[in-house]
Each structure stands twice: as C-alpha cells, then as structure tokens.
Amino acid sequence: MKPTLQLKLGQHLTMTPQLQQAIRLLQLSTLELQSEIQQTLEENPMLEQEEDSVESTVDAKSQAEKQEQENLNSVNEKSAENDDPHMDMENKQEMPDELAVDSNWEDTYDITTATAPSSQSSSDSNNDFLENQSVQGDKLSEHLLWQLHNSQFSDNDHIIAIAIIDAINDDGYLTESVEEIYDGLKNDLDIELDEVEAVLRRIQHFDPVGIAARDLRECLLLQLEQFDPQTPGLADVKNIIEHHLDLLGAHDYARLQKKTRRDEEQLKKLITFIQALNPKPGASISNNNAQYVIPDIFVRKINGKWHVSLNPEASPNLRINAIYENHLKNAGRGKDTSYLRNSLQEARWFLKSLQSRSDTLQRVGNAIVERQRLFLDYGDEGMKPMVLRDIAEELEMHESTISRVTTNKFMHTPRGVYEFKFFFSSHVGTADGGECSATAIRSMVKKLIENENPKKPMSDNKISSLLVKEGINVARRTVAKYRESMLIPPSNERKRLA
C-alpha cells in the first residue's frame, strides 16, 4: 500500500490553563474561594488586597515603598532563577474581554472535585476569614475519654472503661454486651464480670446523660435518675418506661390509660414528660461538624421589587501592586524582570477569572429570583417548578455550567439562606393543564398534616384525594414519598392524644 499525504481541516476547543482556572474558580464555594485567594496572594507578588480605607493606604505608603524597594532585589534574584522564555512568550497572549467559562469542557478537561488548597503553608495567617472555617468538633468517644482521663480509675478499670467507650456508637448506645466486653479482656486482665458491670455504671454517669445504655428503656431510665425524686409524675413516667414502653411506641393510648389508671389529661402530661427525654444522647456530641456558609448574593425587596446584589464580603478586593508595576515600566524588558512580567500576566488572568465568576453568579441569581418571586413573597407554596435547563436556555449556557454555579453557592433572602439548588424542583400536573412544583406540594402536605385531627390522622390516600380536589394530580405513593422526605411518620404513628 502506497503511503499518501492527506490534509484535513477541523476545529477543536483548546482548554488553556487560564480558562481552566476560570472554570475552577467558578465552581468553588465562597470559603474555598477565600482560601484560593489567600494562597494566590502569598505566591504572586503582583497581587495585593485593597486597603479598607484610603487613609490607611496613604499612611502605609511611605513605609511600604521602602520595604518594597528592598524586596525588589530578592524578587529580581528569584526572577533570574525562574526565568523561562517559553513561559514569558505564553503569557504575552492577548487577554479576552470575556472568559469562555461556559465551554462544554467535560471532553477536554480532566474533571476533579473542587477542594480548597492546603492551608499548611498559611497556618500562621492572621486573616479573619480563615476563622470562619468549620472547626473540627469533639467526637463522642473523645468527649468520653476526656472525662475518663479526668476521673479516678484503677489501672484495670481504666482499661475496661476504654473498651466500653470503644463499644459506644454515635447515638450513645453500647453495641456490645457486658459479657462480650469481659470475654475480650479476661485473657489479659485478672478481672471478674461484675467489675465490668461496675465500670459500666460509672461510665453511665458521664456526660451526656443517658450515655452507654444497652437499649432505649435503659437510656430513658438513666435520664430519670437526674430528676429530684419528688418531681411530680416521676413515678408514673418510670412505670410507663419500665413496663409499658411498647404500648407507648404503638400509640395504644386506650390500653395505656387502663394500665396506668390515669385519665386522658393526666396521661397526656406523662407522655409530654417522656417526650422531653433524649432517645439519642450521643447525637448531641456528634462528629458531624456544622457547616458554616457565607452567602454569595443578597436578595432584598426595594420599593416592591426584588433586587439581587453580590455579597461584597464573599471575597476580598484585589488589585495589581502599583509599586511593582511601575518598577516593570521603568526597568524595560530585561531578563531580570521576566519573573515579575509573568507574575503580572498571571495576576491579570486571576482578576479576570474572579470578575467572570462574579458576573456569572449575578446573572444566574437574577434569573432564579425572577422566576421564584412568588416563593419570596408567599413561601414554599409559591415555589414554581424549575429545572437547570430553564435557566440554561434563558442565559444561553450549558446545563453543566448552571449545575456548577448552583452547587455550594448560597442566597441570603428575607426567608432565610438557601443553596441555589434549593430553587430547582420537579413538577406535578394540575387539573387545568398547569404545573405545580414538588416543593409547593410538600408544603401543602405538611400543612394538611399539621391541621389534622390528632386523634384521627389522615392517611396518605386521604391526603392525595384532598389534593386532587384542589386540582393537583398527585398519587398516594407520591404523597408518601414527600411525607417521608420531611421525616413525618405515617398516620398510625402520628396518632396522639388531643
């Protein structure tokens, strides 16, 4: 076969490092973005954070100029070490007015989960925003071990206590029997079974109250030990928990009245007492940290109209370092300035990427608020059905771009702080051919249940029929799905005394 030459003409998208940076910044949360900005400020001398006031800038200028001039020598030395003609040529490319952050980049860019840069290099930073990061809270086991180390235990009892704490789950319950714990220790320690039981009793007096119980009954009884013996109703409550907890769990109030010989009003007070106890004491000290968020945009109603504005505190204002920039202008294009020139180009790209991120957030925020004005005015029942495609088509962007813009981005409204994704939901058809959002239907289901007769709770089928009468075509299984998503128990478990 004879070799031949073929000429083909085609186009493909080149994902430049600058465009990759713009897309990556777009999908970062506010806290991750602040960490990224901090790292960039430390690495790029051409970037600086704007001062809060003009006066502070003027006062610091004379001193800063002296320091900067001294630093220029070390920076120029670094530029000689890092001089790379290829890098310098690459960064001479013209900067576009807009970055194509909406490029369909899945096929040309290795997608990875966005994570905040390591903070090891900036552990000594004094920036306040780093203090807003979620702090690692104590795990339950650490909380119990701390109490153990501050208590008087013999060496053997200390080892037994550690074994017991290791067997406590996140809800605070002991997951192994005393016999199993004893069997695991008897070959190494000269102990008896009753010693393990005694140590367990001591652990059960640790904080939180009710810890290390073997079942719900024991957990609740441990909590009752903290009450004054003269507390009204305490004896009756203890009797219900010890002997009739199954009837209480089954909501069999008629039999419970007979067993306790108490009338309906008295029984209602006893049940209220029991409901005030904590069935999962360990959950109060969980290893699940609270997630702190900074809203990306604010939504306010001004003169009867909803307005969207970016949160100025979401990211610090950055600018090019004027002293270094002037030094470059006066120094010409010698080799000694290549490091600063490359840093200047990278700084400009970074600022452009930040601006592109802000513009995109503003556009998406405006589009969401415009479509969900009824929610802002009236609450969940005013939520309109909306999917990513609706916003993507309106803004002429890819759905994947809208998905990334709406992930881990938050909107502060008079009704609370919501993730952008909250405003997107599926729809259900109505009798007149319209659509109703799943969020609105969930709100209706919740309202119907809140207003039901507590002695005769409505079944899912009944709720479905009531919604159909309102013109909303929703099946029983759909009602059940929405009810379960709100952690509302079925009708047989909702039955309670009036």
Mean pLDDT of 230-254: 91
φ, ψ (nearest 5 deg) of residue 405 = -65, -35
What confidence tens digit (pLDDT) does each residue in 258-283 have? 999 999 899 999 999 999 999 999 98
Q: Which residue has the higher pLDDT, 464 or 16?
A: 464
Q: Given this model, what pLDDT does residue 376 score?
A: 95
Find where tokens 């009837």 sit: 247
Band (pLDDT 50/70/90 cuts) for residue 133 is: very low
Q: Given this model, what pLDDT does residue 338 score?
A: 84
Residue 122 clears pLDDT 70, i.e. is over it: no
Interatomic CA distance for residues 109 and 99, integer angstroms: 16
Q: What is the 3-state secondary structure (H, E, C) of 440-455?
A: HHHHHHHHHHHCCCCC
Q: Of 54-68, 110-124, 480-494, where does the model show the most confidence?
A: 480-494
Mean pLDDT of 340-365: 93
Band (pLDDT 50/70/90 cuts) for residue 333 is: low
For residue 173, give the amino acid letter: Y
DSSP states of 401-458: HHHHHTTT-EEEETTEEEEGGGG-B-EEEBTTS-EEEHHHHHHHHHHHHHTS-TTSPP
Mean pLDDT of 191-201: 94
Mean pLDDT of 159-181: 93
Band (pLDDT 50/70/90 cuts) for residue 243 is: very high
Mean pLDDT of 359-387: 93
- Please name the residue ranges forming H helices in 82-233: 85-90, 140-149, 155-166, 178-185, 193-203, 216-224
Pair of tokens at residue 13: 């998208």
Burial of 156 (0-12, 13-18, 19+ CB in 10 A): middle
Mean pLDDT of 299-317: 91
Q: Given this model, what pLDDT does residue 436 score?
A: 85
Mean pLDDT of 223-235: 91
Band (pLDDT 50/70/90 cuts) for residue 22 is: confident
**Interior angle at CA 14, CA 8 and CA 15, nearest 5:** 160
Q: Given this model, what pLDDT does residue 337 score?
A: 78
Which residue(s) pair with 318 in the sheet? 49
Residue 312 clears pLDDT 60, i.e. is over it: yes
Burial of 487 (0-12, 13-18, 19+ CB in 10 A): exposed
The highest-level CATH class for domain 427-494 is mainly alpha
Q: Which residue has the higher pLDDT, 362 or 313?
A: 362
Span of 18-27, 118-127, 370-379 with lowest mean pLDDT: 118-127
For residue 47, the surrounding DSSP H or E stretch is strand 47-49
What confidence tens digit (pLDDT) does each residue in 435-488 have? 788 888 899 999 999 999 888 899 999 999 999 888 888 889 889 988 988 889
Q: Given this model, what pLDDT does residue 126 score?
A: 37
Band (pLDDT 50/70/90 cuts) for residue 403 is: confident
Q: State percent of the chain over pLDDT 90.
A: 44
Mean pLDDT of 372-386: 92
DSSP three-state, residue 309: strand
What letter would DSSP give residue 386? B
Q: Given this model, what pLDDT does residue 206 score?
A: 92
Tell me the pLDDT of the chain averaged across its residues.
80
Band (pLDDT 50/70/90 cuts) for residue 127 is: very low
Span of 46-55, 188-197, 401-410 with lowest mean pLDDT: 46-55
Residue 101 clears pLDDT 90, i.e. is over it: no
What confidence tens digit (pLDDT) does each residue in 74-98 have? 445 544 444 444 444 444 455 555 5
Q: Given this model, what pLDDT does residue 335 score?
A: 63
Q: Given this model, what pLDDT does residue 79 score?
A: 46
Interatomic CA distance for residues 254 and 161, integer angstroms: 43
Taking the domains of the chain in order of start, what are their residue ranges?
17-48+293-424, 140-284, 427-494
Find where tokens 């051919």 sit: 433
Span of 68-77, 194-203, 213-222, 339-348 with lowest mean pLDDT: 68-77
Band (pLDDT 50/70/90 cuts) for residue 13 is: low
Mean pLDDT of 226-243: 92
**Interior angle at CA 361, CA 359 and CA 365, nearest 5:** 120
Q: Which residue has the higher pLDDT, 16 or 396?
A: 396
Residue 175 clears pLDDT 70, i.e. is over it: yes
Q: Given this model, what pLDDT does residue 449 score?
A: 92
Q: Given this model, what pLDDT does residue 462 score?
A: 92
Find where tokens 């390591």 sit: 118
